[in-house]
Chains A and B, each alone.
Chain A
Amino acid sequence: SQTIHQWPATLVQPVGSPLSLECTVEGTSNPNLYWYRQAAGRGLQLLFYSVGIGQISSEVPQNLSASRPQDRQFILSSKKLLLSDSGFYLCACQRGPATNEKLFFGSGTQLSVL
């Protein structure tokens, strides 16, 4: 089964600073990859998904971007963080391309923007 490595586990950043969260996957090839943000009262919000290298779809207009430089690497970035970017970020992996496969989640990154 898939294993997802996500780091760092916690991060405190000042407003206006850059961000880079990395997610790597083991145990599968050509997975679908996702970035979700979990905010209190808002559940899991899909931010980005990718079906292959260099293929990124954005779900929500925002201050963030994503990249997939390698098959099993998914990066979430920002050039300048906002206070509203605070939250719990989860990377998820799914054996593609079938859509009935379950998601495997990373352990998440708690981001606090101060």
Chain B
Amino acid sequence: AQSVTQLGSHVSVSEGALVLLRCNYSSSVPPYLFWYVQYPNQGLQLLLKYTTGATLVKGINGFEAEFKKSETSFHLTKPSAHMSDAAEYFCAVSASSYGGATNKLIFGTGTLLAVQP
């Protein structure tokens, strides 16, 4: 079974500062990992994902995340925060599957990012 823990339900940074949103996962099989973002009054959209290959994954809007198997982590970062980055961010995990098994995308509880001017 898979699970996700997001540390910090609220994170506040200053504009231009580093953004670091933490995500740790638990999975009994090699995981697929995702970050989704929900901007105010908008639906959820995919920010980036890790499936296989390079462990540093780049996403939209300058975000990136690094898969660290030894730490079971998939933290999301951005070097310089913009006001438009204010949103709720969700980390998610699913099981990698080679047999067409059903995917169950399990989400974390979310981190609300506030960006101060």
Contacts and interface: CB of A to CB of B under 8 A. Distances in A.
Interface of A: 32, 34, 36, 41-46, 49, 51, 57, 59, 90, 92, 94, 96-103, 105-108
22 contacts: A32-B102, A41-B9, A43-B90, A43-B110, A44-B44, A46-B105, A46-B106, A49-B102, A51-B102, A90-B43, A96-B103, A97-B102, A99-B32, A99-B94, A99-B96, A100-B51, A101-B103, A103-B36, A103-B46, A105-B45, A106-B43, A107-B43
Contacts of A99: 32, 94-97, 101-103
Nearest to A4: B43
Interface of B: 6, 9, 32, 34, 36, 43-46, 49, 51, 90, 92, 94-97, 100-110
